[in-house]
Amino acid sequence: MNQFDVIIRGGIVVTATDTFRADVGIRHGKIMTVANILTDGTKIIDASGLLVMPGGIDSHVHLAQPSFDGPAMADGFESGTRSAVAGGNTTVLPFALQPRGASLRSSVVNYHKEADGQSYCDYGFHLIVTDPTPSVLSQELPALVEDGYTSFKVFMTYDDLVLNDRQLLEVFSSARDCKALVMVHCEGYDAIRFMTERLEAVGKTAPYYHAVSRPESVEREATHRAISHAELTDVPIMIVHVSGREPMEQIRWAQNRGMKIYGETCPQYIALTSEDLKGLNMDETGGKYVCSPPPREKESWEAVWSGIKTGVFQTFSSDHCPFFYEGVGGKLNDKARTSFRWVPNGIPGVETRLPILYSRGVAEGRITVNEFVALTSTNHAKIYGLYPEKGSIAPGFDADIVLWDPNRKETISQRLMHHGADYTPYEGQQVTGWPVMTLLRGKIVAEEGKIVGSKSDGRFLKRRLSPYAMPGSNR
């Protein structure tokens, strides 16, 4: 019998800290050896000219998430994870949403039914807490954390999701008790409602006004409020999908005070602008780019890069939240044509996250390839309790690997995508660097844009407590 099931030969191994030429020996889905020259493998994969990196971990995706009165999402687990592996990812962390009045546990049970046997990559769940009743806080959350759902998301806006300040403080405090990490959507509910009603009253209803209704000041205020609540309750938090300079500076301010406040940003904040939302009327394409927080002005990209380069942001996630553009269930549905407020909120991006960051970051010289690995894989594993099984290339880690062609030039196009949506907001953008093969626990699941794995390959990941969620430094 051969020593290794698979040898990846002749590539350049890249981790969050090192870059070196080595062969990678895999057995039973695990990395056994990373060494100069390996022989004795059942299957040899030639990686010469390629980078050998940990598979992407996308810790912020929405799949099969129920919407209350709007159109259904364009991706369930099958198409969403198909798209993920085609884009070089091996783990996704979507959200199990608690509808108000329902128990969190029943939401998790239902969400498992969506995912079981339907996933091309590994997955875990964050919980979205919308109804923090005393029993949710004191019984359900601790039990679910114990079962491996070790992070929750809370919202500071949206009618069906928003928590008031008292509720935020209660959830933060429970998270502290059970050592879970809270992700916070920071946009202020009342300010958005005020702006939306004013804009609608003067007929400013086109998609572009979505961005006008929630400017950076609204995100900055909510970010500061969340940080203050984290200080009061002495709990670490992750501010998700940070769009520009003003909220980024709030996080930097808190970090400079020694607080455990983490930051996530996303491709739409370095590759799209609010100009993309411009259309003269509802038939124009602006609706394709409606997401929250919205993309900002082009100058904002450099502020986001400064946050990436100086470590304000630990994770770069897609916030993949796909809807169809055309059709009765699309972004341009009849109700959505009456006002931006009804345009389904979110864009697809799990498949394009890695190429966009590699191209604009590494190929254009803004970040190192090691920083790329940290931002797209290693830090996600460490922060969300998946380390040391996921997120690096070293003996003992799962053999979750992407082979990456650093020189390949592609033009992003819907034609290349594997997601369920009928468009990509990055259509026509040129990138340098592209995934050519994705291995999940040693098995090839995507190769040259073709899915060769099966939807029963993915496993549910029961996550550990995150060391990043340990309290004690925010006060």
Q: How far is the CB of 424 from ligand DUC (least distance, A)?
A: 16
Confirm if 359 and 404 have CB atoms less than 8 A apart: no
Per partner kind, with CB cut-offs from 5 to 8 A, the member of Zn ion, ligand DUC, none near residue 345 is ligand DUC
400 binds, among Zn ion, ligand DUC, none (CB under 5 to 8 A by kind): none
Q: Which is nearer to ligand DUC, 267 or 435 (CB)?
A: 267
> For residue 16, is it left (φ>0), alpha (ψ between -120 and 50) or beta?
alpha
Binding partner of residue 214 among ligand DUC, Zn ion, none, CB cut-off 5 to 8 Å per kind: none
CB atoms within 10 A of CB 32: 20
> What angle is formed at CA 470 by the lines to CA 464 and CA 472, rounded to 5 degrees?
170
Q: What is the DSSP pairing of strand 122-123 with strand 126-128?
A: unpaired
Residues 221-250 that bind ligand DUC (CB under 6 A): 241
Residue choice 292, 339, 359, 466 for contact with ligand DUC (CB under 6 A): 292
What gap in Å lies between CA 469 and CA 149, rounded to an integer? 13
Least Cβ distance, residue 266 to Zn ion (angstroms)? 9
* 319 contacts Zn ion (rule: CB under 5 A): yes
Dihedral of alpha carbons 118, 155, 245, 373, sign: negative
By C-beta, is 314 or 392 nearer to ligand DUC?
A: 314
Give which of Zn ion, ligand DUC, none residue 91 binds (C-beta under 5 to 8 Å, depending on kind).
Answer: none
- Among 345, 379, 429, 438, contact with ligand DUC (rule: CB under 6 A): 345
* Minimal distance, residue 135 CB to Zn ion, in Å: 25
Nearest alpha-carbon partner for 270 in 238, 298, 307: 298
Q: Which is nearer to Zn ion, 11 or 348 (CB)?
A: 348
The residue within the footprint of ligand DUC, chosen from 180, 321, 350, 461 (CB under 6 A), is 321
Q: Which is nearer to ligand DUC, 264 or 371 (CB)?
A: 264
φ and ψ of 448, to 5 deg: 50, 45
Query: For Zn ion, which stretch binds (CB under 5 A), given 63-71, 167-175, 281-289, 311-319?
Result: 311-319
Beta carbon nearer to ligand DUC, 90 or 345 = 345
What's the rounded Cα separation, in Å, for the pair 5 and 375? 30
For residue 185, state whether it binds ligand DUC (rule: CB under 6 A): yes
Q: Based on CB atoms, which residue is closest to ligand DUC, 38 or 97?
A: 97
Q: Which is nearer to ligand DUC, 348 or 391 (CB)?
A: 348
Within residues 68-87, the interface with Zn ion by CB under 5 A covers none
Which entry of ligand DUC, Zn ion, none binds 9, CB below 5 to 8 A by partner kind? Answer: none
Q: By CB under 6 A, is residue 319 in contact with ligand DUC?
A: yes
Distance from C-alpha of 31 to C-alpha of 399, rounded to nearest angstrom? 5
Find all residues with CB under 8 Å of 107, minimum gap 6, and list them. 96, 97, 98, 99, 127
The structure tokens 């290349």 sit at 416
Which of 126, 120, 176, 115 has the alpha carbon at shortest distance from 151? 126
Listed in sequence order, the residues at least 6 apart from 397 whose beta carbon sits closer than 8 Å to its beta carbon are 30, 31, 54, 388, 389, 390, 391
**Which residue, 5 or 319, is less far from ligand DUC as judged by CB?**
319
346 scored as a contact of ligand DUC (CB under 6 A): yes
Tell whether residue 185 is a contact of Zn ion (CB under 5 A).
Answer: yes
For residue 74, give the nearest of 351, 418, 422 by alpha carbon: 422
Q: How many amino acids of this chain bind ligand DUC (CB under 6 A)? A: 9
CB of 161 to ligand DUC, least distance (A): 8
DSSP class of residue 281 equals S
Residues within window 386-415 making contact with ligand DUC, judged by CB under 6 A: none
Query: In this chain, which stretch among 8-16, 185-193, 223-231, 382-390 interacts with Zn ion, using CB under 5 A?
Result: 185-193
Cβ at position 291, least distance to Zn ion in Å = 8
Q: How far is the CB of 155 from Zn ion (least distance, A)?
A: 6
Burial of 201 (0-12, 13-18, 19+ CB in 10 A): exposed
Contact indicator for 433, 362 with CB cutoff of 8 Å: yes
DSSP state of 344: -
Considering Cα of 94, then 97, then 103, then 106, what sign does the dihedral take?
negative
CB 315 within 8 A of CB 56: no
Amino acid, single-letter form, for residue 158: Y
Nearer to ligand DUC, 222 or 403 (CB): 222
Pair of tokens at residue 267: 């491709």
Q: State the residues that interact with ligand DUC by CB under 6 A.
A: 62, 185, 241, 291-292, 319, 321, 345-346
Which chain residues interact with Zn ion by CB under 5 A? 185, 319
